[in-house]
A and B are shown apart, each in its own frame.
Chain A
Amino acid sequence: MRFTWMYAKSQLRLKRRYTVLGVLWNLLEPLLYLGALSVVFSYVNRMRVSDYAVFLFSALVPWRYFEKVVSGCTDSIVQGDWLLKKLPASPFSFPLARWIVASAEFGFSFAAVALILVLVKEHWTVHVIVLPLSALPWAITALGVGLCCATLFTFFRDVRPVVQVALMFAFFTAPILFNPDLFPSGSAQARLLAWHPLTYLAALFQKPVYAGQWPGLMDWTVSSAAAVVALALGITSVRWTRPRLYFYL
């Protein structure tokens, strides 16, 4: 665990080491990305820029974190062959290190979003205090899915494009870019969204930030269940395949 933590810290340090702006990029990068997106999509969705920015950022920031963890974890065990073939290190170290790095960057993105929202959102409610808790199911689900992908990728290198397509599919079918209220209740789209786990994970951020509400019981239940199942599957997959990993690195 000590190595994992130190390795993650070194990766964070190295990321901006040779840049002129250094750690400032941690704030600038999400600011530029989210700024560009909100301007473009506000025209597509025909909402006011400020209104759409609040809606978009509320779920896009945790989604980007999720995506970064899953993509980063996928090849992490294979990329860790420099250590796993030389020392009796835990294969969990590498996905965990990527998760720690992405989590730190998520923190920075969150700070950037808060900065933007302070400028564009007119009415704030007390519900935003729940956000640190809302991040937990996202973080645990991302780690679980990341561990599963890391194991699968070690044995089958074909997994990477499948993961990319699955992430893209999940993103475009989840109510992150579009407001779920666009669809009348009972419509096919609304029924599909009800079965989409990301609908509930997204609601953990959208409701407190955009709608000024507490996330519902259903949101917490589905999100927590997704997190527990994903993490259990992830840990089991790495543990189960651990004796064979060396031969596939």
Chain B
Amino acid sequence: MSANVFDLPDVSVRFRKNVVSARSLKYSLESWVRGQPLATHAGLSDVSLSVASGERLGVIGRNGAGKSTLLRVLARVIVPQRGLVTVDPTRRIVPLLELGVGFQPDLSGAENCLLAGTLLGLPPARIDARLEHIVGFAQIDGFIHEPVKNDSSGMYARLAFALAFDVEPDVLLVDEVFGVGDEFFMEKCLARVDALVAAGVTSVFVSHNLDFLQAQCSRLVWLDHGRLVMDGEPALVARAYRDRRGVFEN
């Protein structure tokens, strides 16, 4: 078996343009009758990438460069139209593409932990056993049995973060979720990330925070207009990215 956790050979993802009108039967029939191909734009264009076990990969790029699309492809949320993504099936992949995925506003914090925890692969019995620890990490002791819709945005994010980081992943995919809660809570989260990284967890971080990526990652890739522009040592890639202000032109 390959030592790589992910192998992406020439992967392309295209999104349809004018999606609002394109969702009608009328639009589709008209396009079909006129023989017009539906307009698309590139999310990823022929991106080739491998991520080795234990590697800490950072992804940078301007807004709309394809960073989140790449992460969704790795998380198997998006199936690319071209290129077959190979993922090591033995690894537990935990995607943190957004905090609080699976949370229902009317459910209490504890109920949400059970529901969202199952999405992260945690059995209910384990969540029950770990609930006190999760609540302690999130520092929301008095509010865990209240509907999360009544929580402040900081409390909501802290609970979501505490739950997500209680999972023991083999592979962690993080999309710009750092920046929640207060400074002290952030310190706790970063310490948890450090511990995971030190334990050899393969990680892919998408962020606009170059300093964070340089500190955390062993490798950096730069995306622009869905293309992979540069792939290499973090300091080198970060310098090139800053020098060109994130814009790459052939």
Show the binding face of A for B, using Cβ within 8 Å. 2-3, 6-7, 10, 13-14, 17-18, 82-89, 155-159, 242-244, 246-248
Nearest chain B CB to A81 CB, angstrom units:
11
Cβ 8 A contact of B118, one of A3, A85, A244: A3
Nearest chain B CB to A118 CB, angstrom units:
36
Q: Say whether, besides A14-B106, A243-B79, A248-B23, A86 and B118 are in contact (CB < 8 Å).
A: no
Nearest chain B CB to A199 CB, angstrom units:
31
Contact B15 A89 (CB under 8 A): no
In the assembled complex, the Cα of A89 lies from the Cα of B97 at a distance in Å of 13
A158 / chain B contacts, CB cutoff of 8 Å: 24-26
Please name the residue on chain A nearest to B40 by beta carbon. Answer: A247
Cβ 8 A contact of A10, one of B23, B78, B79, B111: B111
Q: Which of B15, B97, B102 has the most CB of A within 10 A?
A: B102
Rank and list the top 3 A-B pairs by shortest CB-CB distance, nearest first: A243-B79, A88-B76, A86-B101
Please name the residue on chain A nearest to B43 by beta carbon. Answer: A247
A17 / chain B contacts, CB cutoff of 8 Å: 106
In the assembled complex, the Cα of A202 lies from the Cα of B197 at a distance in Å of 61
Show the binding face of B for A, using Cβ within 8 Å. 15-16, 19, 23-26, 28, 72, 75-79, 95, 97-98, 101-102, 104, 106-107, 111, 114-115, 118-119, 123-124
In the assembled complex, the Cα of A244 lies from the Cα of B40 at a distance in Å of 14
Contact A86 B77 (CB under 8 A): yes
Contact B76 A86 (CB under 8 A): no
Q: Which of A3, A87, A248 has the most CB of B within 10 A?
A: A87
A88 / chain B contacts, CB cutoff of 8 Å: 75-77, 95
Contact A87 B101 (CB under 8 A): yes
Nearest chain B CB to A156 CB, angstrom units:
5
Please name the residue on chain B nearest to A244 by beta carbon. Answer: B79
Q: List 14 contacting pairs A-B, 8 Å CB cutoff, sorted by A.
A: A2-B118, A7-B115, A10-B104, A10-B107, A13-B107, A17-B106, A83-B102, A86-B95, A86-B98, A156-B25, A243-B79, A246-B77, A247-B15, A247-B16
Q: Say whether, besides A88-B77, A157-B24, A6 and B95 are in contact (CB < 8 Å).
A: no
Please name the residue on chain A nearest to B122 by beta carbon. Answer: A2
Contact A6 B114 (CB under 8 A): yes
B102 / chain A contacts, CB cutoff of 8 Å: 3, 83, 87
Contact A86 B79 (CB under 8 A): no
Contact B104 A3 (CB under 8 A): no
B16 / chain A contacts, CB cutoff of 8 Å: 247
Nearest chain B CB to A163 CB, angstrom units:
13
Contact A246 B28 (CB under 8 A): no
Q: Say whether, besides A2-B118, A6-B118, A82 and B76 are in contact (CB < 8 Å).
A: no
B118 / chain A contacts, CB cutoff of 8 Å: 2-3, 6
